[in-house]
Amino acid sequence: MDAFILRHGAAELSARTDFERALNSRGRAQVAQAVQERSAELAGVKCMFVSPLLRAQQTAEIVLEQLGKRPAQTCDWLVPEARLDRALTELSNLSEESSILLISHLPLVAELTEALCGKPRGFAQFDTASLAALSGDILAAGCAELRWIRHVN
């Protein structure tokens, strides 16, 4: 099973609520670049799981524009303050998916990558629009291998 973990692109610094913070022009360009550079690997993604926050939803729209239509689910377990154990439980239920893409936020993207790969806290560094690729027989704590993390400018 392959899992790609994408942090949303750069977002506006202010909005009425954190939920409503939108991608800025730099963030849109970052996401487009990240997806374009890894489009061959991302082409096999069967389903996307996306945080409900606006900037993550906008990131997903850019991914879909570049890769083409595929199923996408909005998941409250991918919000920035989500509990790691809940996210790991949800991922363990996805074993039938062969390749997935998660779109979320700090600190969850780093925590998930570290937990799935059995790495210590602070190992995985994510900037805006950073994209990580993991592989494993199952998506459970300590059962995946980090293939790469790609950062954009």
How large is the angle between the packed helices 108-117 and 84-92, nearest 10 degrees?
Answer: 60
The model's pTM: 0.96
Res. 97: pLDDT tops 70: no
- Where do the domains of the chain lie? 2-150
Res. 96: pLDDT tops 80: no
Q: How confident is the model at residue 30 (pLDDT cuts 50, 70, 90)?
A: very high
| Chain segment 134-150, per-residue pLDDT in tens | 999 889 999 999 999 99
| Chain segment 111-129, per-residue pLDDT in tens | 999 999 999 999 999 999 9
What is the average pLDDT across 38-63? Answer: 98
Name the superfamily (CATH) of residues 2-150.
Answer: Phosphoglycerate mutase-like (3.40.50.1240)
- With CA atoms as reference, report the closest residue to 108 among 7, 4, 2, 15: 7
User: What pLDDT does 102 receive?
Assistant: 98
Average pLDDT value for the chain:
96
The burial class, CB within 10 Å (0-12 / 13-18 / 19+), for 29 is: middle
Q: Measured between alpha carbons, how far is 43 from 133 in angstroms, rounded to an integer?
A: 13
List, in order, residues 6 or more apart from 14 with CB less than 8 Å away: 21
Write down the residue that tokens 């800025």 correspond to.
24
Helix (H, G, I), strand (E, B) or coil at 86: helix
